[in-house]
Amino acid sequence: MKKAALVSIAAYAPQKILTNAELEKMVETSDEWIVKRTGIHSRHIAEDESLTSMALKAGKLALERSGLEKNEIDCLICATVTPDFFCMPSTAAQVASELGLGSIMAFDISAACSGFVYLLEVAKSLVESGAKKNVLIIGADKFSSIVDYSDRSICVLFGDGAGAGVVSVASSDNHIIATHCASDGSKGELLMTPKDGRNVGFVKMSGNEVFKIAVNTLTNDVVELLEKSGIASSQIDLFIPHQANLRIIKAVQERLGLSEAKCVVTVGEYGNTSAASIPMAMNTAYEDGRLKAGSLILLDAFGGGFTWGSALLRFGR
Ligand code: COA
């Protein structure tokens, strides 16, 4: 059977930065509380930029870095829960068109903060089955469009951004070794956007409950994935988790017995960017030289739905 590889990674963060000091002027909070409870110092905000334009910028760079021609991409999938258009058209169809990819299959998936791990599993399946050769995957979210900036329990947590990669038929030992995606809709109300008439409402979260479930679920999920893959945590070159809260990241990192040096942390700069969070963190590690072709990386994610998952792969062509 063919194997699939993540051959490129890229990201885009909007220019405007919203700091903890600015939030102190908007709601009753403090830099000290935010940093202590979350590890977040700032987040990037899209302002006038659309979700599609952020996805487009990340997708374009991922395509360039893949070394492929536009006409070699035969599928584009976008993970987002904050699309520009309610129901349709999909972000993926818009981006495929703007990138000039022709009339390829393009569709969106909704898996909140687990979006990028879900994308990897779907793209891997399409490539391994032979249905597609090169799939452009984009995780993008503009949470500023669904955050109530008078709700201190939410507005300090989220930011905007996009991340992308290309999944292709593997041509070496570098490939996606294993993915695991799961959900539990019975806990959906703990993190949701209740409908406000005909409009999408603001995000509501039972932070404390979500926190505890996220730590337990993620820890079990990554340990199980490693065991099933026959890989010891000591073999991992980089752990690149979903960036929601530094305390959640540390809890899983410590459970895996990994050093801080092996754990990529970008939550301080970007906050939680939902489906964009993992590829944005991967891109940071790629651009600063930590993530190289052949690096063995472990990803984990947890988000609304609930959805969660993990992935183990050797990066690059
Ligand atoms: N500034 C100051 N105080 C705040 C605050 C803020 N921005 N937000 C909440 N508080 C207050 C609360 O009102 C509460 O006050 P009280 O004790 O007087 O009632 C107190 O801080 C503690 O609130 P609590 O929600 O229990 O804090 P916490 O330690 O659980 O931290 C989160 C809150 C949101 C940071 C944390 O629960 C979290 O990260 N949850 C998970 C988020 C996540 O992973 N989502 C993943 C899916 S994307």
* All domains in the chain, ordered by first residue: 4-169 (3.40.47.10), 176-314 (3.40.47.10)
Segments of the chain with pLDDT less than 50: none
Q: Which pLDDT score is estimated for 225?
A: 97
Query: How do residues 265-291 score in pLDDT, each as one tens digit?
Result: 999 999 999 999 999 999 999 999 999
Q: How far is the CA of 304 from the centre of ligand 1 (A)?
A: 17
From the candidates 20, 134, 245, 272, which is the catalytic residue?
Answer: 272
Instruction: Look at ligand 1, atom 48, and give the residue with the nearest C-alpha.
Output: 303
What is the residue whose two structure tokens read 């993915």?
179
Q: Please indicate whether residue 272 is annotated as part of the active site.
A: yes
Q: Please indicate whether residue 20 is annotated as part of the active site.
A: no
Q: How far apart are CA 41 and CA 20, in angstroms?
A: 6
Q: How far is the CA of 290 from the centre of ligand 1 (A)?
A: 32
Q: How far is the CA of 3 from the centre of ligand 1 (A)?
A: 42
Q: How far is the CA of 153 from the centre of ligand 1 (A)?
A: 6
Ligand 1 close to Cβ of residue 110 (< 6 A)? no
DSSP bridge partners of 109: 79
Instruction: Please choose from 26, 80, 153, 306 the residue to mutate so as to test ligand 1's pocket, defined by most ligand atoms within 8 A of CB.
Output: 153
Ligand 1 close to Cβ of residue 244 (< 6 A)? yes
Q: Please indicate whether residue 155 is annotated as part of the active site.
A: no
